[in-house]
Copies of this chain bind each other. A is one copy, B any other.
């Protein structure tokens, strides 16, 4: 603790940074950013966009960049993304969108570099939001990410054209809505672990991703799954596997 306080006294760190190191979180008007969590499991701490105003999302992101050097905002709306671009417009930070997630890096932020690849596969365009989140998180954890898009079961030939790329990855996240059959199909074609990511598309009975989730839980091949639209969780689980593989290399 003394070390942190000295650094603060010497002006080496900001008050926010000192607070976050001591208390495990930093306080802003828009709420609290749990800075310490990142250290505990090596998982990037994300700000959930859902339910926040654009300003709140941007405020929390600025605090995150200040204290951790990085901000990840998930499940963002268009308005939140605009607020984020504006907030960091003049800052020396680098901002990138993928799916529904946004990441901002302070200029000196170093993303880890794992020698391991995550394939992120989608059935159709409506899976892009959740899949993009998964890809972004896996990248932020240091994995190389390969995207294979629009290879859904209604036109299965496109999957076969791209299967070798999925096979080359160490782990695959496969996103699908409606009947959610793609992860099963992929898992029948590759040797690596496959994580099913059900997406909330589809209407009527079994809509909103319910049929996709049930189908993945019932898969006749070997899959593990995450909750509906849980792109962050799928990407982070793939990142943990990638890190285990990298550690062994």
In this assembly, does A2 line the interface, its C-beta being within 8 Å of a C-beta of chain B?
no
- Please, how many angstroms separate the alpha-carbon atoms of A187 and B193 in the complex? 19
Chain B neighbourhood of A204, CB < 8 A: 198, 200, 209, 213, 217-218, 227-230
Chain B neighbourhood of A211, CB < 8 A: 211, 214-215, 217-218
Tell whether, in the assembled complex, residue B221 and residue A227 are in contact, meaning their CB atoms are under 8 Å apart: no
Residues of A211-248 contacting chain B, CB below 8 A: 211-230, 233-234, 236-237, 240-241, 243-248
Min distance, Cβ A129 to any Cβ of chain B, angstroms: 12
Number of copies: 8
Chain B neighbourhood of A89, CB < 8 A: none
Contact sample, A vs B, 28 pairs, CB 8 Å cutoff = A41-B187, A41-B191, A41-B221, A41-B222, A124-B220, A154-B184, A170-B244, A179-B218, A180-B218, A191-B240, A198-B204, A203-B230, A204-B228, A204-B230, A205-B218, A205-B227, A205-B228, A206-B218, A210-B214, A211-B214, A214-B214, A217-B227, A218-B227, A222-B237, A224-B224, A224-B237, A245-B248, A246-B248
List residues of chain A with CB under 8 Å of any chain B CB. Answer: 24, 31-32, 36-37, 40-43, 50, 115-116, 123-125, 152-156, 158, 170-171, 178-181, 184-185, 187-193, 195, 198, 200, 202-207, 209-230, 233-234, 236-237, 240-241, 243-249
